[in-house]
Amino acid sequence: MGEKNYNVIGVMSGTSLDGIDCAYAKIGLSSSKDNSIYPSFTSDVIVAKTIPYPKKWKEILSTAHLLSREELDALNVDYTAHLAQVIKNFITTNDLTDIDVVCSHGHTVLHQPDEGVTLQIGNLPEIATLINHRVVCDFRVQDVEMGGQGAPLVPIGDQLIFGNYDYCLNLGGFANVSKDENGVRIAYDISPVNVVLNKYAQELGEEYDDGGAFAKAGTVHQPLLDKLNDILFYSLPAPKSLGIEWVHAHIFPLIEAVQLSSVDVLATFTEHVAIQLAAQFKEGASVLVTGGGAYNTYLLERVRFRESVKLVVPDAKLVEFKEALIFGLLGVLKLENLPNCLASVTGARHDHASGMLYES
Protein backbone atom coordinates (compact mmCIF):
# COMPACT_ATOMS: atom_id res chain seq x y z
CA MET A 1 0.00 0.00 0.00
CA GLY A 2 2.98 2.33 0.34
CA GLU A 3 2.99 5.09 2.94
CA LYS A 4 0.02 7.20 3.96
CA ASN A 5 -0.45 9.84 6.66
CA TYR A 6 -3.46 11.26 8.45
CA ASN A 7 -3.59 14.41 10.56
CA VAL A 8 -6.31 13.75 13.10
CA ILE A 9 -7.91 15.24 16.18
CA GLY A 10 -8.95 12.60 18.69
CA VAL A 11 -11.56 13.70 21.22
CA MET A 12 -12.49 11.88 24.43
CA SER A 13 -14.68 12.59 27.46
CA GLY A 14 -14.52 10.08 30.29
CA THR A 15 -16.86 9.18 33.13
CA SER A 16 -14.56 10.80 35.71
CA LEU A 17 -15.63 14.20 34.25
CA ASP A 18 -12.10 15.63 34.32
CA GLY A 19 -12.85 17.36 31.04
CA ILE A 20 -12.70 16.91 27.28
CA ASP A 21 -9.39 15.56 25.96
CA CYS A 22 -8.35 16.86 22.54
CA ALA A 23 -5.22 15.49 20.84
CA TYR A 24 -3.89 16.56 17.45
CA ALA A 25 -1.78 13.69 16.16
CA LYS A 26 -0.12 12.35 13.04
CA ILE A 27 -0.92 8.73 12.27
CA GLY A 28 1.16 7.00 9.64
CA LEU A 29 0.34 3.82 7.72
CA SER A 30 2.80 1.65 5.81
CA SER A 31 2.78 -1.83 4.33
CA SER A 32 2.45 -4.64 6.84
CA LYS A 33 5.43 -6.93 7.25
CA ASP A 34 3.28 -9.99 7.91
CA ASN A 35 0.00 -11.38 6.61
CA SER A 36 -2.12 -9.15 8.84
CA ILE A 37 -5.01 -7.24 7.28
CA TYR A 38 -3.64 -4.20 9.11
CA PRO A 39 -0.81 -2.00 7.91
CA SER A 40 1.99 -0.96 10.26
CA PHE A 41 1.14 2.17 12.22
CA THR A 42 3.13 5.03 13.70
CA SER A 43 1.69 7.76 15.88
CA ASP A 44 2.86 11.09 17.23
CA VAL A 45 0.84 13.41 19.46
CA ILE A 46 1.75 16.93 18.35
CA VAL A 47 -0.35 19.01 20.72
CA ALA A 48 -2.96 18.02 23.28
CA LYS A 49 -5.04 19.61 26.00
CA THR A 50 -7.75 18.71 28.51
CA ILE A 51 -10.48 21.34 28.56
CA PRO A 52 -12.13 21.18 32.01
CA TYR A 53 -15.90 21.09 32.28
CA PRO A 54 -17.57 24.20 33.69
CA LYS A 55 -19.37 23.53 36.98
CA LYS A 56 -22.72 23.58 35.18
CA TRP A 57 -21.76 20.80 32.78
CA LYS A 58 -20.23 18.68 35.55
CA GLU A 59 -23.50 18.83 37.46
CA ILE A 60 -25.59 18.03 34.38
CA LEU A 61 -23.45 15.11 33.22
CA SER A 62 -23.12 13.57 36.68
CA THR A 63 -26.89 13.02 36.85
CA ALA A 64 -27.69 12.63 33.14
CA HIS A 65 -28.37 8.89 33.53
CA LEU A 66 -31.50 9.82 35.48
CA LEU A 67 -33.06 11.90 32.69
CA SER A 68 -36.07 10.90 30.61
CA ARG A 69 -35.72 10.08 26.91
CA GLU A 70 -37.01 13.52 25.93
CA GLU A 71 -34.61 15.24 28.33
CA LEU A 72 -31.71 13.18 26.99
CA ASP A 73 -32.57 14.19 23.43
CA ALA A 74 -32.47 17.86 24.42
CA LEU A 75 -29.22 17.34 26.34
CA ASN A 76 -27.69 15.64 23.29
CA VAL A 77 -28.37 18.73 21.18
CA ASP A 78 -26.91 21.08 23.82
CA TYR A 79 -23.88 18.89 24.47
CA THR A 80 -23.14 18.49 20.76
CA ALA A 81 -23.03 22.28 20.48
CA HIS A 82 -20.78 22.55 23.56
CA LEU A 83 -18.43 19.83 22.30
CA ALA A 84 -18.24 21.45 18.87
CA GLN A 85 -17.28 24.78 20.45
CA VAL A 86 -14.55 23.10 22.51
CA ILE A 87 -13.12 21.46 19.39
CA LYS A 88 -13.29 24.71 17.40
CA ASN A 89 -11.47 26.56 20.19
CA PHE A 90 -8.79 23.85 20.30
CA ILE A 91 -8.27 24.18 16.55
CA THR A 92 -8.12 27.99 16.67
CA THR A 93 -5.91 28.24 19.76
CA ASN A 94 -3.33 25.88 18.27
CA ASP A 95 -3.60 27.30 14.73
CA LEU A 96 -4.36 23.88 13.25
CA THR A 97 -4.99 24.08 9.53
CA ASP A 98 -4.09 20.62 8.24
CA ILE A 99 -6.84 18.35 9.59
CA ASP A 100 -8.03 15.25 7.74
CA VAL A 101 -10.64 14.11 10.25
CA VAL A 102 -11.93 14.73 13.77
CA CYS A 103 -12.60 11.47 15.65
CA SER A 104 -14.81 11.87 18.70
CA HIS A 105 -16.01 9.45 21.35
CA GLY A 106 -18.67 11.75 22.79
CA HIS A 107 -19.71 11.36 26.43
CA THR A 108 -21.27 8.15 27.73
CA VAL A 109 -24.54 8.75 29.55
CA LEU A 110 -26.08 5.26 29.39
CA HIS A 111 -24.29 1.96 28.98
CA GLN A 112 -26.35 -1.21 29.49
CA PRO A 113 -25.09 -3.46 26.68
CA ASP A 114 -26.79 -6.59 28.03
CA GLU A 115 -30.07 -4.76 27.41
CA GLY A 116 -28.92 -3.48 24.01
CA VAL A 117 -28.56 0.09 25.27
CA THR A 118 -25.64 2.50 24.97
CA LEU A 119 -25.74 6.27 24.50
CA GLN A 120 -22.85 8.65 23.89
CA ILE A 121 -24.09 12.23 23.59
CA GLY A 122 -22.29 14.73 21.36
CA ASN A 123 -22.39 12.51 18.28
CA LEU A 124 -25.22 14.14 16.34
CA PRO A 125 -24.57 14.70 12.60
CA GLU A 126 -24.62 18.48 13.15
CA ILE A 127 -21.22 18.33 14.81
CA ALA A 128 -19.47 18.13 11.42
CA THR A 129 -21.22 21.28 10.21
CA LEU A 130 -20.58 23.09 13.49
CA ILE A 131 -16.82 22.50 13.36
CA ASN A 132 -16.58 22.56 9.55
CA HIS A 133 -14.57 19.34 9.39
CA ARG A 134 -15.19 15.70 8.53
CA VAL A 135 -16.07 13.73 11.67
CA VAL A 136 -16.04 10.05 12.61
CA CYS A 137 -17.88 9.38 15.87
CA ASP A 138 -20.45 7.25 17.72
CA PHE A 139 -18.27 4.14 17.80
CA ARG A 140 -20.17 2.03 20.36
CA VAL A 141 -23.73 1.73 19.06
CA GLN A 142 -23.05 -0.58 16.11
CA ASP A 143 -21.11 -3.00 18.28
CA VAL A 144 -23.97 -3.27 20.80
CA GLU A 145 -26.41 -3.82 17.93
CA MET A 146 -24.16 -6.71 16.86
CA GLY A 147 -24.41 -8.34 20.27
CA GLY A 148 -21.21 -6.84 21.68
CA GLN A 149 -20.47 -4.90 24.84
CA GLY A 150 -19.58 -1.76 22.87
CA ALA A 151 -16.53 -1.52 25.11
CA PRO A 152 -13.70 -1.31 25.60
CA LEU A 153 -12.77 0.25 22.25
CA VAL A 154 -9.14 1.16 22.91
CA PRO A 155 -7.65 -2.39 22.64
CA ILE A 156 -7.29 -2.26 18.85
CA GLY A 157 -4.92 0.67 19.42
CA ASP A 158 -3.12 -1.26 22.14
CA GLN A 159 -2.60 -4.06 19.63
CA LEU A 160 -1.52 -1.92 16.69
CA ILE A 161 0.54 0.77 18.47
CA PHE A 162 1.51 -0.57 21.91
CA GLY A 163 1.73 -4.30 21.26
CA ASN A 164 5.23 -4.54 22.77
CA TYR A 165 3.76 -4.52 26.31
CA ASP A 166 2.29 -7.62 27.95
CA TYR A 167 -0.68 -5.59 29.17
CA CYS A 168 -2.10 -2.13 28.52
CA LEU A 169 -3.91 -0.78 31.58
CA ASN A 170 -6.05 2.35 31.52
CA LEU A 171 -6.98 3.95 34.85
CA GLY A 172 -9.74 6.48 34.26
CA GLY A 173 -13.26 6.60 35.60
CA PHE A 174 -13.02 2.82 35.22
CA ALA A 175 -10.03 0.52 34.87
CA ASN A 176 -9.76 -1.57 31.74
CA VAL A 177 -7.03 -3.82 30.47
CA SER A 178 -6.07 -5.44 27.19
CA LYS A 179 -3.64 -8.24 26.42
CA ASP A 180 -2.69 -10.70 23.73
CA GLU A 181 -3.86 -14.23 24.50
CA ASN A 182 -2.78 -16.92 22.05
CA GLY A 183 -2.62 -14.41 19.22
CA VAL A 184 -6.03 -12.90 20.02
CA ARG A 185 -6.64 -9.52 21.65
CA ILE A 186 -8.63 -9.79 24.87
CA ALA A 187 -9.87 -6.79 26.84
CA TYR A 188 -12.43 -5.93 29.48
CA ASP A 189 -13.34 -3.52 32.24
CA ILE A 190 -11.87 -4.44 35.63
CA SER A 191 -13.45 -2.11 38.18
CA PRO A 192 -14.48 1.47 38.85
CA VAL A 193 -11.59 3.76 39.80
CA ASN A 194 -11.74 7.55 39.61
CA VAL A 195 -15.52 7.68 39.25
CA VAL A 196 -15.56 6.58 42.91
CA LEU A 197 -12.26 7.99 44.23
CA ASN A 198 -12.93 11.49 42.88
CA LYS A 199 -16.32 11.66 44.58
CA TYR A 200 -14.85 11.12 48.03
CA ALA A 201 -11.80 13.30 47.38
CA GLN A 202 -14.20 16.10 46.48
CA GLU A 203 -15.94 15.62 49.83
CA LEU A 204 -12.53 16.46 51.32
CA GLY A 205 -12.23 19.63 49.23
CA GLU A 206 -10.00 18.32 46.42
CA GLU A 207 -10.88 17.39 42.84
CA TYR A 208 -9.02 14.08 43.15
CA ASP A 209 -6.84 12.16 45.62
CA ASP A 210 -3.46 13.55 44.59
CA GLY A 211 -0.95 10.71 44.58
CA GLY A 212 -3.32 8.70 46.78
CA ALA A 213 -2.35 10.82 49.82
CA PHE A 214 -5.81 10.66 51.40
CA ALA A 215 -6.03 6.90 50.88
CA LYS A 216 -2.58 6.38 52.37
CA ALA A 217 -3.58 8.33 55.49
CA GLY A 218 -6.85 6.42 55.96
CA THR A 219 -7.67 3.05 57.46
CA VAL A 220 -8.93 0.12 55.42
CA HIS A 221 -12.34 -1.10 56.61
CA GLN A 222 -12.07 -4.87 56.17
CA PRO A 223 -15.80 -5.72 56.19
CA LEU A 224 -16.47 -3.19 53.41
CA LEU A 225 -13.41 -4.39 51.50
CA ASP A 226 -14.69 -7.97 51.68
CA LYS A 227 -18.14 -6.96 50.42
CA LEU A 228 -16.67 -5.00 47.52
CA ASN A 229 -14.45 -7.90 46.50
CA ASP A 230 -17.41 -10.29 46.62
CA ILE A 231 -19.39 -8.37 43.97
CA LEU A 232 -20.45 -10.83 41.25
CA PHE A 233 -19.05 -8.78 38.33
CA TYR A 234 -15.47 -9.55 39.33
CA SER A 235 -15.92 -13.30 38.89
CA LEU A 236 -17.59 -13.03 35.48
CA PRO A 237 -15.57 -13.95 32.38
CA ALA A 238 -14.75 -11.44 29.65
CA PRO A 239 -16.10 -9.79 27.61
CA LYS A 240 -17.60 -7.49 30.21
CA SER A 241 -17.94 -3.75 30.70
CA LEU A 242 -19.17 -1.27 33.28
CA GLY A 243 -21.27 1.89 33.25
CA ILE A 244 -22.02 4.65 35.73
CA GLU A 245 -25.46 3.18 36.44
CA TRP A 246 -23.76 0.00 37.69
CA VAL A 247 -21.68 2.03 40.15
CA HIS A 248 -24.78 3.73 41.55
CA ALA A 249 -26.49 0.35 41.90
CA HIS A 250 -23.65 -1.78 43.27
CA ILE A 251 -20.85 0.36 44.74
CA PHE A 252 -22.24 3.47 46.40
CA PRO A 253 -24.93 1.61 48.39
CA LEU A 254 -22.29 -0.64 49.98
CA ILE A 255 -20.11 2.34 50.87
CA GLU A 256 -22.97 4.44 52.22
CA ALA A 257 -24.23 1.59 54.40
CA VAL A 258 -21.09 1.58 56.58
CA GLN A 259 -20.92 5.36 57.17
CA LEU A 260 -17.15 5.74 57.08
CA SER A 261 -15.16 8.95 56.90
CA SER A 262 -14.22 9.97 53.35
CA VAL A 263 -10.55 9.25 54.12
CA ASP A 264 -11.33 5.69 55.19
CA VAL A 265 -13.57 5.18 52.14
CA LEU A 266 -10.64 6.23 49.95
CA ALA A 267 -8.27 3.89 51.80
CA THR A 268 -10.69 0.98 51.47
CA PHE A 269 -11.69 1.55 47.87
CA THR A 270 -8.10 2.13 46.76
CA GLU A 271 -7.15 -1.21 48.30
CA HIS A 272 -10.13 -2.81 46.57
CA VAL A 273 -9.01 -1.46 43.20
CA ALA A 274 -5.43 -2.61 43.83
CA ILE A 275 -6.64 -6.14 44.59
CA GLN A 276 -8.75 -6.26 41.43
CA LEU A 277 -5.94 -4.89 39.27
CA ALA A 278 -3.23 -7.17 40.64
CA ALA A 279 -5.40 -10.21 39.98
CA GLN A 280 -5.23 -9.55 36.22
CA PHE A 281 -1.44 -9.77 35.80
CA LYS A 282 1.12 -12.53 35.58
CA GLU A 283 4.19 -12.14 37.74
CA GLY A 284 6.98 -10.16 36.09
CA ALA A 285 4.79 -8.85 33.27
CA SER A 286 5.27 -5.41 31.69
CA VAL A 287 2.20 -3.19 32.06
CA LEU A 288 1.75 0.14 30.27
CA VAL A 289 -0.28 2.33 32.64
CA THR A 290 -2.14 5.38 31.33
CA GLY A 291 -5.09 7.54 32.33
CA GLY A 292 -5.37 9.90 35.28
CA GLY A 293 -5.02 7.05 37.76
CA ALA A 294 -1.44 6.51 36.57
CA TYR A 295 -0.55 9.50 38.78
CA ASN A 296 -1.99 7.76 41.85
CA THR A 297 1.37 6.53 43.12
CA TYR A 298 -0.12 4.98 46.23
CA LEU A 299 -2.53 2.87 44.15
CA LEU A 300 0.34 1.64 41.96
CA GLU A 301 2.38 0.92 45.09
CA ARG A 302 -0.44 -1.26 46.42
CA VAL A 303 -0.69 -3.12 43.09
CA ARG A 304 3.04 -3.87 43.19
CA PHE A 305 2.68 -5.02 46.80
CA ARG A 306 0.12 -7.61 45.73
CA GLU A 307 1.78 -8.71 42.47
CA SER A 308 5.37 -8.32 41.26
CA VAL A 309 4.89 -6.59 37.91
CA LYS A 310 6.68 -3.86 35.96
CA LEU A 311 4.26 -0.93 35.86
CA VAL A 312 5.44 1.48 33.14
CA VAL A 313 4.10 5.02 33.39
CA PRO A 314 5.06 6.86 30.14
CA ASP A 315 5.41 10.60 29.52
CA ALA A 316 2.54 12.93 30.41
CA LYS A 317 1.22 13.23 26.85
CA LEU A 318 0.71 9.50 26.58
CA VAL A 319 -0.58 9.11 30.14
CA GLU A 320 -3.23 11.77 29.64
CA PHE A 321 -4.06 11.48 25.94
CA LYS A 322 -3.58 7.85 24.94
CA GLU A 323 -7.35 7.31 24.68
CA ALA A 324 -7.83 10.46 22.59
CA LEU A 325 -4.98 9.34 20.33
CA ILE A 326 -6.54 5.90 19.89
CA PHE A 327 -9.93 7.37 19.04
CA GLY A 328 -8.05 9.18 16.29
CA LEU A 329 -6.79 5.76 15.17
CA LEU A 330 -10.33 4.31 15.32
CA GLY A 331 -11.46 7.03 12.93
CA VAL A 332 -8.58 6.32 10.57
CA LEU A 333 -9.44 2.61 10.59
CA LYS A 334 -13.05 3.49 9.76
CA LEU A 335 -11.91 5.62 6.81
CA GLU A 336 -9.68 2.76 5.66
CA ASN A 337 -12.62 0.31 6.05
CA LEU A 338 -10.60 -1.80 8.48
CA PRO A 339 -12.06 -3.33 11.67
CA ASN A 340 -11.78 -1.05 14.69
CA CYS A 341 -13.96 -3.21 16.97
CA LEU A 342 -12.68 -6.68 17.79
CA ALA A 343 -15.16 -9.48 18.46
CA SER A 344 -12.61 -11.08 20.80
CA VAL A 345 -12.82 -7.93 22.95
CA THR A 346 -16.49 -6.94 22.85
CA GLY A 347 -18.22 -10.24 22.14
CA ALA A 348 -19.84 -8.94 18.93
CA ARG A 349 -20.73 -11.43 16.22
CA HIS A 350 -17.61 -10.51 14.23
CA ASP A 351 -14.92 -7.85 13.84
CA HIS A 352 -16.23 -4.71 12.19
CA ALA A 353 -15.51 -1.09 11.23
CA SER A 354 -17.69 0.90 13.62
CA GLY A 355 -18.57 4.58 13.76
CA MET A 356 -20.56 7.16 11.85
CA LEU A 357 -18.94 9.33 9.19
CA TYR A 358 -20.29 12.84 8.81
CA GLU A 359 -19.07 15.27 6.17
CA SER A 360 -18.99 19.00 6.92
User: Model confidence over 87-139: pLDDT tens digits?
Assistant: 999 999 999 999 999 999 999 999 999 899 999 999 999 999 999 999 999 99
Specify the CATH number for the domain of residue 35. 3.30.420.40
Per-residue 3-state assignment (H helix, E strand, C coil) for 1-63: CCCEEEEEEEEEECCCCCCEEEEEEEEEEECCCCCCCCCEEEEEEEEEEEECCCHHHHHHHHC
Residues 195 and 242 in one domain: yes
220 burial (CB, 10 Å; 0-12 / 13-18 / 19+) is: middle
* Same structural domain, 249 and 336: no
28 lies in the same domain as 124: yes
Mark whether 310 and 331 lie in a shared domain.
no
Q: Are residues 312 and 341 in the same domain?
A: no
- Same domain (yes/no): 304, 346: no
**71 and 203 share one domain:** no
Structural domains counted in the chain = 2
For residues 46 and 134, state if they share a domain: yes
Residues 187 and 246 in one domain: yes
Mean pLDDT within 236-251: 94
Model pTM? 0.89
192 and 225 belong to one structural domain: yes
What's the confidence (pLDDT) of residue 1? 55
**Whole domain around residue 230: which residue ranges?**
164-316
Amino acid at 283: E
Q: Is residue 159, in this structure, part of any structural domain at all?
A: no
Mean pLDDT, residues 165-192 taken together: 95
Residue 183 shares a structural domain with residue 81: no
286 occurs within a structural domain: yes
Domain membership of residue 137 (yes or no) is: yes
What pLDDT shows up at residue 33? 65
